[in-house]
Structure 1
Amino acid sequence: MATSSEAPVLETLAAMTMDSIERCGMDASTLILTRIAALAAMDAPAISYLAHVDPAIKANLSLEQVQDVLVAIAPVVGTARVMAAAAHITKALGFAIAVEESDAEAMAMAESESRNRA
């Protein structure tokens, strides 16, 4: 089945993440922090963290909570993986912000065009 979405893979992954939150017995913040720890442990790329940005925001996670998780797992997974995770999280957040800004610009442009036609 074809989709008209501009980002079907990312939207599917986000939907899977949200579905997991709904089906898991953990509260949303604990689940996302656990996933961040797992991503760091497996040396996941930045794109893997990107799927967790929106759920982390919805769970009201703070930067300090994410940092605490990285500090907690450092002795187990190692400095290199924790530093790589921090860099990947930063990159994912930068991408998410860029997408939000792009969406905001597109909405403003569409609104402006709508006013010009009226």
Structure 2
Amino acid sequence: MPDRPRPVADVAPGTRRALALLAAGGGGPEPLAALPRAAPLDRRTDALVRIAALIALDAPPAAYARQIAAAIGEGIASEDILATLLAVVPEVGMPRVIAAAPEVMLALGLPLPEAPT
């Protein structure tokens, strides 16, 4: 029997069950709704993670507008949003970040730069 990989961290039983449920396909909306939210992210982190996900997904402009407005409403500074853009470059690549930058600018109410001629 092959050796099982060693866990890199202690995994709480509830977290272990939730991950197994997700890895098995979720089992429908009822089991997914019952997943534990014992240690939710704080609001600031949650908002920035959502922006990072939009960048990774190449989300539509309306998604950026909605999420960035919510982030600003939570008191997140535009500098933090820029830091999020730059933080995901190694994972998603510079082309995704470049594609997201105009959407972020528009969501922040900034004019887009003139195209070079």
Question: TM-score, structure 2 length as denominator?
Answer: 0.56
Q: Please report how far the alpha carbon of residue 55 of structure 1 lies from its aligned counterpart in structure 2 after TM superposition.
A: 1.6
Q: Deviations over 1:6-37 (max 9, x none)?
A: xxxxxxxxxxxxxxxxx781111101100000
Q: Specify which structure has the higher proportion of helix.
A: 1
1:94 is displaced (CA, Å) by: 2.7
Identity of aligned residues (%): 41
Residue 85 of structure 2 is matched in structure 1 by 70
Hey, what's the Cα distance between the residues in 2 that align with 1:79 and 1:86?
10
CA-based RMSD of the aligned residues comes to 2.0
Q: Give the distance between the partners of 1:41 and 1:53, measured in 2 at CA.
A: 15
Deviating beyond 2 angstroms after TM superposition, the runs of 4 or more aligned structure 1 residues are 92-95
Consecutive unaligned residues of structure 2, counting only runs of 5 or more, are 1-36, 111-117
Count of residues in Structure 1 that have an aligned counterpart in Structure 2: 73
Q: CA deviation at 1:69?
A: 1.0
Q: Which has the higher contact order (CA 8 A, sep 6+)?
A: 1
Mapping for residues 48-63 of structure 1, pairs under 5 Å: 48-63=63-78
- Give the Cα–Cα distance (whole angstroms) in 1 for the partners of residues 84 and 68 of structure 2: 15
8 Å CA contact 2:51, 2:68 repeated in 1: no
Cα distance in 1 for partners of 2:97, 2:58 equals 8
TM superposition score normalised by structure 1:
0.56
Aligned residue identity for 2:77: S
